[in-house]
Structure 1
Amino acid sequence: MANGLPNYQLQQDQQAAPFSLRTMEATDQAHQGQPDQPHRHFYYTILWPFNATGTHMIDFVNYEIKPDHIFFISPGQVHQVRTNAQPTGVVLLFTPDFLQMNGIREEFIDQLKIFRTCEENPPLAVSKPLRGTLQLYVEQMQQAQQLLDYRYEALGAWLKLFLIACNNACDLALADPQQLQAGQTILRQFKQLVESHITEWHKVNEYAEQLFITPNHLNDVVRSLLGQTAKEYIQRRLTLEAKRRAAFEAITTKELAHNLGFRDPSHFTKFFRAQTGQSLSEFKATQFR
């Protein structure tokens, strides 16, 4: 088992950077054709394979890599890319700060259907018309990277158009527009609370109390926008956190249970098996072998 999960900051030419556009070819050459190790970033990643095959693990779910199927990875998600020989494609990397500095509100990303932090993350299949549009935006971003003046402003503008085009083509409909507009603020705040307090609060009423709404109302909002209850969302996020720590930290079951807010380790082991169908030891034995 690894002693810790690598956490990568965004760098370009050995310097910290808010945005980078790279090719899959260059990344493959940098790794000398070897697959990367499971890791996570503190920035957003968009992986668009042009001619590549393989597998992409995102938060312990494996997806097939196919040409013109775009992956969207949020900060904090664990992922690993394994491609066959000589892949081609592009990789867009950008930080939350990059969005802010270019007037792209946090709410904009939250409302998109393409970045999903605690749900399934299937890739977006790119149609032929969409491919032409996205290729144009990528070419404009490649040119903008060479600008001396207003480089990031131009990159931000083309990136936003790229994201909008992908979102409009996405068939992972989370809700109708009226439902989305009515509940988006509550959902965004709920998700933020879950990320901050998942190891402390396991009950819906604890989150509802912080949002000054009833547990029933919170459940209705989450169900209408995500297709699952608030309790199910909390349990999935808690299970994901358990998987991340179990897979990458040298930690006992008792320590893990305590760190995740379970007073009784036996309660944690029962919870983990109920959520995954595996014991913790069975899960550890199957990871990254």
Structure 2
Amino acid sequence: MQEQKGKYEDLKHDELGIKVRSDDNPYLSADLQQKILQPRRLSSYFIVLIESGSITYHLDSQDFTLTDGHLLFAMPNQIFTPPAKTGDLKYFKLLFDENTLALLPQQFPFLVNPSNAQTLVLDNPAKERVIKVFEILNQLLISDKYETDTEIILAYLNSLLSEFNSAYFKNKGPVNILNTNLSKFTEFKLVVETSLTEQPSINAIAEKLALSTNSLYRIVKEYAGTSPKDYFINRLMAEAQRRLRYSNTSVKELAYELGFNDPDYFSRLFKKSTGKSASDFLPRQDLSGK
């Protein structure tokens, strides 16, 4: 989530990393439909809003059942298993990448999920507003009758994310979403995501965020309920579980991939953190997506 970078008059809308799908504009190919039902690592931000009906999504190791007015959002690198569409389901899906997000004029802290809540429930007025924006954005992106200004598409995307950001923080008490602590926690989560396998020290992360280690501890404890070190380890172990479940790598190879010099230490840490042996976890892989 970076600041807007200049003008984008020369950027065509079909070059933006953004897609919208709905029950009126579904994936058409049966082969493609089967392919997208497979577990996969997200490379973009993903948001789905249920207008009516009910459906269950699997994100990382959790199931999320969504119904009218419910919204699920996910970050890049999360393991996502979409379900087959159920009857009478009306929905909108939105995918956009980091480069598209960087073109927007403001930041959206909800995208890094500081309160660890992957779902939102929109009230009826917000739901109606969002559906209208989705419909317009959907029309703009699939229309080839004329070339739409990129600025218009980004304006509608900005409007959608503003609604979601407001809904995310609406019931979180008197927290100001622009306050310094929340901003620093958002930056902390981004540093963790982008440098996970490098395993930087907590001192190095604090220095990068222009914080003392004590200040970083206080901020992470406030928003995540744990220490920066434990937060990093938990995130690293979650990534280990993803890779064990969705790849054919060995435990030893995985340890090196995640930045561990000692595979035995990785195995002990994995067992301590998850209560499961990494080697015992491998036989339960399921790559079929069924």
Q: TM-score, normalised by structure 2?
A: 0.78
Shift of 1:91: 1.0
Residue 129 (structure 2) aligned to one of 129, 133, 136:
133
Amino acid at match of 2:57: H
**Unmatched runs of 5 consecutive residues or more in structure 1:** 1-14
C-alpha distance in 1 between matches for 2:158 and 2:246: 34
Please state how far the C-alpha of 1:234 moved relative to its aligned partner: 0.4
Q: Which residue of 1 aligns with 2:236?
A: 238
Q: Distance in 2 between matches of 1:267 and 1:58?
A: 28
Q: Secondary structure at the match of 1:225?
A: helix
- CA shift at 1:150, angstroms? 4.3
- Deviation of 1:158 (Å): 1.7
CA distance in 1, matches of 2:269, 2:75: 26
The answer to whether structure 1 residue 68 and structure 2 residue 69 are counterparts is yes
- Cα 1:253–1:260 change in 2 (3 A) is same
Kindly state the Cα deviation for residue 159 of structure 1 after the two structures are TM-superposed.
1.8
Closer/same/farther in 2, CA of residues 99 and 168 from structure 1, 3 Å limit: same
Q: Does the C-alpha gap of structure 1 residues 27 and 232 become closer, same or farther in structure 2, counting only changes over 3 Å?
A: farther
> How far apart in 1 are the matches of 2:112 and 2:173?
11
State the 1:51 CA deviation: 3.5
Amino acid at match of 1:267: Y
Task: Note if contact 2:115-2:223 (Cα within 8 Å) is conserved in structure 1.
Answer: no
Q: 2:94 is paired with a residue of what secondary structure?
A: strand
Once residues 171 and 279 of structure 2 are traced to their aligned partners in structure 1, the CA distance between those partners, rounded to angstroms, is 34
- Deviations along 1:110-156, one digit per CA (max 9) or x if unpaired, are x2x2x236974432122222221112212222343337354322221
CA contact (8 A) 2:244 2:285 kept: no
Identical pairs, percent? 25
Stretch deviating more after TM superposition (146-155 or 257-266): 146-155
CA distance in 1, matches of 2:173, 2:41: 25
| Unaligned runs of at least 5 residues, structure 2 | 1-13
CA drift at 1:38: 0.8
2:206 alignment partner AA:
A
2:201 is the alignment partner of 1:199: no
Deviates more, 1:232-241 or 1:136-145: 136-145
Q: Secondary structure at the match of 2:198?
A: coil
Classify 1:104/1:243 alpha carbon distance in 2 versus 1 (closer, same or farther; 3 Å): farther
Distance 2:174 2:242 in 1: 29
Once the two structures are superposed, the pairs formed by residues 33-52 of structure 1 within 5 Å of their partners are: 34=34, 36-52=37-53
CA RMSD of aligned residues (A): 3.0
Q: In structure 2, what is the equivalent of residue 177 of structure 1?
A: 176
What one-letter code is carried by the residue in structure 2 that aligns with 1:177?
Answer: N
Aligned to 1:80: 81
1:241, CA displacement in angstroms? 1.8
| Map of 1:21 onto structure 2 | 20
CA displacement at 1:18 relative to structure 2: 2.2
Paired residue total: 268
Quickly say closer, same or farther: Cα 1:228–1:73, change in 2 above 3 A.
same
Q: Distance in 1 between matches of 2:261 and 2:22?
A: 47
Change (3 A) 1:172 1:61: farther
Aligned AA (1:199): T
Aligned amino acid, residue 77 of structure 1: Q
Give SS of 1:199's match. helix
Deviations 1:1-21 (A, max 9, x none): xxxxxxxxxxxxxx7642222
- What secondary structure sits across from 2:41 in the alignment? strand
Structure 2 residue identity aligned to 1:186: K
CA-to-partner distance for each residue in 1:37-73, whole Å, 9 max, x for gaps?
1112322221112334332122222212323211112
Paired residues for 1:131-280 under 5 Å? 131-145=127-141, 146=143, 148-170=146-168, 173=172, 176-177=175-176, 180-201=178-199, 203-280=201-278
Q: Which amino acid letter does the alignment assign opposite residue 205 of structure 1?
A: N
Distance 2:118 2:93 in 1: 17
Q: For residue 164 of structure 1, give the secondary structure of its aligned residue in structure 2.
A: helix
The whole-number CA distance in structure 2 between the counterparts of 1:129 and 1:73 is: 24
Quote the Cα distance in structure 1 between the aligned partners of 2:41 and 2:252: 25
Note closer, same or farther for the CA distance 1:232–1:119 as it changes in structure 2 (3 Å cut): farther
Equivalent residue for 1:7?
none
CA distance in 1, matches of 2:273, 2:122: 33
Question: What is the one-letter code of the residue matched to 2:175?
Answer: D
